[in-house]
Amino acid sequence: MTMEIASARTAVAKPPAPGLISRRVLGNVALGLVLLAVPFWLPLVGGYTDLASRVLIYALAAMGLNLLLGFTGGLSFGHAAYFGLGAYGVGLMLKYETHSILLALLVGTLVGGIAATLLGPIAVRRRGIYFAMITIAIGQMFYFLAVRWNSLTGGEDGLTGFSRHPIKLPGLTVPMGSVGFFYLVLVCFGACALLLWTVLNSPLGHTFVGIRENYKRLIFLGVRTKRYLAISFAISGFVVALAGGLNALLDNFTSPNTLNYTLSGDFLIIAVLGGMRNFWGPLAGAVIFILVRDYVSSITDNWMTVIGLIFVLSVLFFPLGILGFFNRKSAS
């Protein structure tokens, strides 16, 4: 009980803090500056820009998922499906239809997002554990579709034969090398963060949180809770699909693994590890998860055991996630 309370404090807007600029605004500005400067400072500490793009893409996916998971209380174990649909949408568009990666991203996001919009209402027919089982099963359907529909998707070998082209705007061509692409990812990340932030601070977002907290009370206030679960499902689906599209661009490749439930598990642990009741929790989780995985897989073949241990240990010892953990410390 105390755990939930401590964690929720960070998730909700408090009465405005005294002073001209609140600490929250300052913190967000600082975060933005750090992210903007990544291509300059990351190489100095031994990182590479593509790794930062990967972190942001996974953070974006986990943030999208977290709207449903952490703020609406819907435990989806199948969001990789929308990630993968976004990825295949982008890959197929670039391979067959267009050289514009922006158009491809738009189409990929729509494909994944619309799938989530159509399937959400089916999944929300049950709650709790069963909701999780249904979402995972729906997700696996797409996985097997991608594996079997060889002629379109390339089957288990994955989809190749597309690449990032520079973005041509009127009077301006943006090269899509590692750094250029990083800024594209950052723009997408920032726009989605702003969108999610706006939603969470609106009556719609308040309704989502109400469903997480007590759906019975909401039903007896006359709210059709399933409709709102489905809306949250859809919004999170669009965000996750965009992340998937970016991921396909980062790799110039996508495979059925981007649809598989194991990737859904990665997104979930990123949200939980960072703190799922915290707006920036998924970003913190993605930084840790991607860096650890990148490092460990370079030094041992048994990296799966290490990833498994991250799951086990964070569930046992950091149920509030890293940010939740520190928030509680500073609160007490």
Please identify which residue in 57, 90, 105, 134 interacts with other proteins, judged by CB under 8 A: 134
In angstroms, what is the minimal distance from the CB of 140 to other proteins?
5
Task: Return the range that interacts with other proteins (CB under 8 A); candidates 40-48, 102-110, 124-132, 284-292.
Answer: 124-132
Q: Which two tokens stand for residue 119?
A: 């399937």
Task: Return the range that interacts with other proteins (CB under 8 A); candidates 5-13, 40-48, 102-110, 278-286.
Answer: 5-13
Contacts of 61 (CB under 8 A, 6+ apart): 79, 83, 239, 240, 243, 244, 247, 267
Please identify which residue in 41, 48, 96, 144 interacts with other proteins, judged by CB under 8 A: 144
8 A C-beta contact, residue 208 and residue 234: no
Q: How far is CA 92 from its chain centroid?
A: 22
Number of residues that bind other proteins (CB under 8 A): 77
In angstroms, what is the minimal distance from the CB of 277 to other proteins?
8
8 A C-beta contact, residue 47 and residue 37: no
What's the CA gap between 31 and 25, in Å, rounded? 10
Contacts of 248 (CB under 8 A, 6+ apart): 86, 87, 88, 90, 91, 108, 159, 162, 254, 258
Task: Count the alpha carbons within 13 Å of 261 in the hemisphere toward its beta carbon.
Answer: 14
Please say which residue, 171 or 222, places its beta carbon nearer to other proteins: 222
From the CB of residue 49, how many other CB atoms can be counted at a distance below 10 Å?
A: 19
Q: Which two tokens stand for residue 127?
A: 């709650």
| Residue 320 binds to other proteins (criterion: CB under 8 A) | no
Please say which residue, 169 or 299, places its beta carbon nearer to other proteins: 299
Please identify which residue in 126, 161, 173, 177 interacts with other proteins, judged by CB under 8 A: 126
Please identify which residue in 265, 280, 291, 294 interacts with other proteins, judged by CB under 8 A: 265
Please identify which residue in 7, 49, 236, 278 interacts with other proteins, judged by CB under 8 A: 7
Beta strands in the chain (DSSP E): 167-169, 172-174
Contacts of 6 (CB under 8 A, 6+ apart): 320, 324, 327, 328, 331
In angstroms, what is the minimal distance from the CB of 37 to other proteins?
31
Please say which residue, 246 or 263, places its beta carbon nearer to other proteins: 263
Q: How far is CA 31 from its chain centroid?
A: 18
Q: In degrees rounded to 5, what are phi and psi of residue 131?
A: -60, -45
| Residue 24 binds to other proteins (criterion: CB under 8 A) | no
Please identify which residue in 140, 153, 247, 278 interacts with other proteins, judged by CB under 8 A: 140
Residues 147-186 touching other proteins, rule: CB under 8 A, are 147-149
| Residue 284 binds to other proteins (criterion: CB under 8 A) | no
Please say which residue, 248 or 310, places its beta carbon nearer to other proteins: 310
Residues 195-254 touching other proteins, rule: CB under 8 A, are 198-199, 202-207, 209-210, 213-224, 228, 231
